[in-house]
Structure formats: structure tokens, C-alpha cells
């Protein structure tokens, strides 16, 4: 087990301690994706525990999705090769749980969204492809149809902003924006009934046109006008309540395809 330096186990939850040490080692690159971990017996010898305890530690680690097991002569426990969609799904679940249980405020989400997406629109104007432009343009055009219900319109809004994030061509920004977008159904519920859909669509179009023209400063300015409008509308909706005092966890969840909770 070259490169792995185990820490002496405490008296309680030996299998859990083994799983945590192995997880940390994987995160630090001791074992790379696709590499085999030590066998149950090797781990038992290393940690001075029964083989059954080592086996349970590996099972706990496997439950996190960091490793996979294979049977046969070439079997064993291997560091998983990350699947982007699966990672995103696991991250989404964790973030949504964090929002429901934590003390994140509407103001926290707004500030993070502004900082991150200002960079996204800048990079999108510099790096966008024709496919990116098409993905940004489609939801803008579709949202011109004011007869669609609010839930469908909000889906288009999310598609628009997600397309901009992808056009920025920065995986870390895309990951961070995922966290923001997961909170938006809840934060939208505060003020969605106050929005002027035509005004929002016009603002989206201005952002799109600047990105299409490769005008990074223009795209940021258009996005700033959009966020300024959203901020003013949210203040109107909240009346005397400060966004810093509104926890995301207290807001009604907005379910796809339903407008029941999207009002005030």
C-alpha cells in the first residue's frame, strides 16, 4: 500500500474510520480512478482488525460511489471512474438537502448568482460556439409566447441561464452555478408573480445579442440590468423584509410543471 499512511483507529466504529481514511486517501490521489484498492485481508492486517471489519469498511466506502467491486480472478475493489451525470446528480441531492437544512439566505443566493454569472456571460461572449448560441437563443424565442404557464416559462428561464453557463466553457463555474440554479425554484417563489415576463424576455434577448456579437462588456452590462430588475422586483415582493433575513429552507418548494407555490 505504497503512499497510504493509516492512522491508528479509535475504539468505536472501526469500519467507519477505515472507510473515512480510505476516502481521504482517494481524494488526495493515493489511488487513481481505475486502480485497485488493497484487499480485505491487506486492510485487516494494516489496521489490525478482523477481516469482517475491513470488509464492512469497504462496503461503507462503496456506498459513497467512490469505489466499485468486481468479482473473479481479476476482481477486487477499484476506485470508480467518475461519470459526470452521476456526480452531478449526487451533488444536486446533497446541495438540495443542505439548502433545506441549512441557514442559506435569499441574499446569499443572489450574491453568489451575480458574482458567478457575471463571469459566465463574459466568458460566453468570448468562447461561445454556434451550437451554444442556438441553445441560448431557443429559450428566449420560446418565452415570447405569453400563453404558456408559469412553470414552463420558468423552465425556459433556467434553460437560458444554463446554456450561458455551458457556453463559458469552465467546468468549475458550471459546477458552482449548479448550486445556484438548484436554489432558484425556491427563491423565485418569493417574487415570480410580480415579474413582467415581457421585460424579462427582452433582458434575456439583450444578453443573448451581446454574447452573439462577442461583446463581453455589453453582455455583462445587459446581465447587470437584468439582475437589477430582479433585485428591485424582489424588494417589492418582500416589502419590508430584508432578503438577508429570508432563509431558503423556509421557502415553498416549486415543483416542475406546477404553479401552485410560485406566487408570493
Asked whether the CA dihedral 24, 25, 27, 33 is positive or negative, the reply is negative
CA pair distance 190, 253, nearest whole angstrom = 11
For residue 52, the model assigns a pLDDT of 96
DSSP-based three-state secondary structure for 129: coil
What residues contact 113, with CB distance under 8 A and at least 6 apart? 177, 180, 184, 227
The pLDDT of 181-203, averaged and rounded, is 89
What are the strands, taking DSSP E only, across the chain?
A: 67-70, 76-79
Would strands 67-70 and 76-79 be described as parallel, antiparallel, or unpaired?
A: antiparallel
CA pair distance 140, 19, nearest whole angstrom = 48
Q: CA angle, corner 21, sides to 1 and 92, nearest 5?
A: 125
Nearest to 239 by CA among 196, 193, 190: 190
The pLDDT of 57-61, averaged and rounded, is 94
- Do the beta carbons of residue 65 and residue 82 sit within 8 Å? no
Q: What are the respective helix, strand and coil percentages of the chain, to the nearest 5?
A: 65, 5, 30
The pLDDT of 244-263, averaged and rounded, is 56
Residue 100 has pLDDT above 70, yes or no: yes
For residue 259, the model assigns a pLDDT of 33
For residue 12, the model assigns a pLDDT of 87
- Do the beta carbons of residue 216 and residue 125 sit within 8 Å? yes
Q: CA angle, corner 44, sides to 43 and 48, nearest 5?
A: 120
For residue 232, the model assigns a pLDDT of 93
- Do the beta carbons of residue 54 and residue 47 sit within 8 Å? yes
Say how many Å lie between the first and final Cα of the chain, rounded: 58
Rounded to the nearest angstrom, the gap between the alpha carbon of residue 121 and the centroid of all alpha carbons in its chain is 18
CA pair distance 73, 94, nearest whole angstrom = 36
What is the pLDDT confidence band of residue 1, given thresholds at 50, 70 and 90? Answer: low
Q: What is the pTM of this model?
A: 0.71
For residue 181, the model assigns a pLDDT of 86
> Residue 59 has which C-alpha cell?
462496503
CA pair distance 23, 159, nearest whole angstrom = 35
What residues contact 8, with CB distance under 8 A and at least 6 apart? none
Amino acid at each position: 500500500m505504497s503512499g497510504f499512511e493509516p492512522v491508528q483507529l479509535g475504539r468505536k466504529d472501526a469500519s467507519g474510520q477505515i472507510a473515512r481514511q480510505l476516502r481521504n486517501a482517494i481524494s488526495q490521489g493515493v489511488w487513481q480512478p481505475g486502480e485497485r484498492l488493497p484487499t480485505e485481508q491487506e486492510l485487516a492486517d494494516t489496521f489490525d482488525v478482523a477481516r469482517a471489519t475491513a470488509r464492512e469498511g469497504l462496503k461503507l466506502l462503496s456506498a459513497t460511489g467512490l469505489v466499485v467491486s468486481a468479482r473473479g480472478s481479476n476482481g477486487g475493489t477499484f476506485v470508480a471512474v467518475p461519470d459526470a451525470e452521476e456526480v452531478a446528480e449526487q451533488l444536486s441531492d446533497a446541495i438540495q438537502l443542505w439548502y433545506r437544512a441549512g441557514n442559506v439566505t435569499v441574499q446569499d443566493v443572489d450574491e453568489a448568482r451575480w458574482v458567478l454569472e457575471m463571469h459566465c456571460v463574459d466568458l460566453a461572449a468570448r468562447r461561445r460556439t454556434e451550437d451554444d448560441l442556438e441553445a441560448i437563443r431557443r429559450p428566449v424565442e420560446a418565452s415570447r409566447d405569453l400563453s404558456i404557464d408559469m412553470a414552463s416559462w420558468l423552465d425556459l428561464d433556467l434553460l437560458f441561464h444554463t446554456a450561458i453557463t455551458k457556453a463559458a466553457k469552465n467546468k468549475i463555474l458550471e459546477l458552482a452555478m449548479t448550486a445556484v440554479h438548484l436554489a432558484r425554484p425556491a427563491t423565485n417563489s418569493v417574487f415570480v408573480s410580480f415579474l413582467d415576463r415581457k421585460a424579462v424576455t427582452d433582458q434575456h434577448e439583450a444578453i443573448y445579442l451581446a454574447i452573439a456579437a462577442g461583446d463581453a462588456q455589453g453582455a455583462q452590462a445587459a446581465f447587470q440590468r437584468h439582475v437589477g430588475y430582479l433585485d428591485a422586483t424582489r424588494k417589492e415582493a418582500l416589502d419590508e423584509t430584508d432578503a438577508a433575513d429570508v432563509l431558503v429552507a423556509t421557502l415553498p418548494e416549486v415543483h416542475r410543471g406546477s404553479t401552485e407555490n410560485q406566487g408570493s
